[in-house]
A and B are shown apart, each in its own frame.
Chain A
């Protein structure tokens, strides 16, 4: 049963520290998305990649956030320096072209980040 995996599942850190979140998309999926979910803002798209190239990162605060895909099996989202307002659940999702009627994105379990 193919799944998107994310690590760590939980992260507690202090303001100013660097945070790195990792995502392993489903093998063969060529598009990877990063979403953030908070009570106030709901689910927001931060950035996404297709064939490892960044397509859209307009939802991401550029001064402290960065997203990369070093290879097809790993996507990373970094926050440096972290701030309390970054506390949220960060979801990674992956998708593949040509699914026809389903057109489904598969979401990972999320990383719950708390910045003190």
Chain B
């Protein structure tokens, strides 16, 4: 599985858009990019997954360029409750039954 690199931490203010970029230079053809969110004292929670171009759901958007060597998670108008660790992962296609390899994640701190 391709290794991912993302910033250790980011700061933001309420109402701002936050973009967290992840690099995955060794991504393979059949790899997907997945993002999870973890609040303190809770297990990680799936946010979004994509293969190429742009994916959007009710929580976030995921932008993946054509070479797929990086991806950007975009959180629109963050609030204090978005303070969490965000993990970028590369995984094989095949449902939710393949193992996840977590990196260090990005600690997003949202301030008033």
| Interface, chain A (partner B; CB < 8 A) | 4, 29-31, 33, 35, 42-45, 48, 50, 56, 91, 93, 95-99, 101-110
Question: How distant is B73 from chain A, measured CB to nearest CB, in Å?
Answer: 16
With CB as the reference atom, state the residue of chain B lying closest to A56: B99
| Interface, chain B (partner A; CB < 8 A) | 32, 34, 41-46, 49, 55, 87, 91, 93-97, 99-105
- Which one, A4, A45, A106, contacts B101 given CB within 8 A? A45
Residues of B within 8 A of A109 (CB): 42-43
Name the prevailing secondary structure of the B interface residues: loop
Closest A-B pairs by Cβ, 4 of them: A95-B96, A107-B43, A43-B102, A31-B97
Q: Do B96 and A43 touch (CB < 8 A)?
A: no
> Which of B41, B46, B99, B100 has the most chain A CB atoms closer than 10 A to its own CB?
B99
Residues of B within 8 A of A50 (CB): 97
Known contacts A96-B95, A97-B96, A102-B49: A108-B43 contact under CB 8 Å = yes
Can you list 9 contacts pairing A with B, beta carbon distance less than 8 Å? Answer: A31-B96, A43-B44, A45-B99, A96-B97, A103-B32, A103-B95, A104-B46, A105-B96, A110-B42
Residues of A within 8 A of B42 (CB): 107, 109-110
Q: Do B45 and A107 touch (CB < 8 A)?
A: yes
Q: Do A91 and B43 touch (CB < 8 A)?
A: yes
